[in-house]
């Protein structure tokens, strides 16, 4: 290699390195891109108007499979900043959704008004809700009831230990996560065993 070729190669080396780095960066997939494509939150549909025909679009809780209309008093509906939306039966399952969607910011969150006299409770925005935290009563998917009320007087009248805004109710849901998960697993195992026993009895009776 002559001196001119050597100098040219040396001068072009940084350019080649930069181009190589750019090519590698172009192939790089960010964590949020990967999770949106391959993670557990890719099931959500883009919905600019989630409250319209809510139970048709979100009939069951994503995380526990419960029928949301039957639990209208504790259900939540979450719309993220890219309009990805999902419905849950409770603040327990809503906390799972918010925890898993680390790179999406909630744009709107609605909750059922437990204080309403309607059979199917209407939705209210969580920023207008007053959550009554009552450890003496079981809640939906939780050992501690965390129901929301539009009327603060109704929230105070239920005899709860505390009445708090959504952010504090969400913190309580995360604090209760371990014991609630163990409780839910136990209940579901017992229910499966009961159903299996019942099915066996029906089959034996038929034979």
Give CA–CA dist 25/124, Å, rounded.
44
Residue 3 has pLDDT above 60, yes or no: no
Closest CA to 181 of 111, 96, 60, 117: 96
Residue 181 has pLDDT above 50, yes or no: yes
Burial of 120 from C-beta contacts in 10 A (0-12 / 13-18 / 19+)? middle
Closest CA to 68 of 82, 83, 53: 53
132-169 per-position pLDDT tens digit: 999 999 999 999 999 999 999 999 999 999 999 999 99
Residue 9 has pLDDT above 80, yes or no: no
Residue 207 burial (CB count, 10 A) = 5
28-75 per-position pLDDT tens digit: 888 878 887 887 888 899 999 999 999 999 999 999 999 999 999 999
Whole-number pLDDT of residue 7? 47
185-194 per-position pLDDT tens digit: 998 899 899 8
């Amino acid at each position: 290699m002559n001196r001119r070729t050597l100098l040219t190669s040396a001068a072009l080396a940084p350019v080649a390195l930069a181009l190589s780095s750019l090519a590698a960066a172009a192939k790089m997939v960010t964590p949020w891109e990967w999770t949106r494509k391959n993670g557990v939150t890719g099931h959500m549909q883009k919905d600019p108007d989630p409250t319209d025909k809510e139970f048709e679009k979100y009939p069951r809780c994503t995380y526990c499979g419960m029928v949301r209309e039957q639990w209208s008093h504790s259900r939540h509906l979450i719309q993220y900043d890219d309009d990805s939306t999902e419905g849950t039966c409770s603040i327990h399952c809503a906390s799972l959704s918010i925890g898993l969607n680390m790179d999406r910011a909630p744009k709107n969150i609605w909750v059922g008004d437990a204080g309403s006299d309607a059979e199917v409770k209407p939705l209210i925005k969580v920023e207008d809700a007053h959550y009554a935290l009552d450890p003496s009563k079981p809640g939906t998917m939780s050992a501690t009831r965390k129901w929301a009320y539009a009327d603060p007087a109704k929230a105070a009248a239920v005899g709860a230990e505390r009445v708090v805004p959504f952010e504090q109710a969400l913190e309580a849901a995360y604090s209760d996560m371990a014991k609630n998960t163990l409780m839910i697993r136990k209940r579901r195992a017992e229910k499966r065993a009961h159903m299996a026993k019942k099915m066996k009895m029906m089959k034996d009776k038929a034979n």
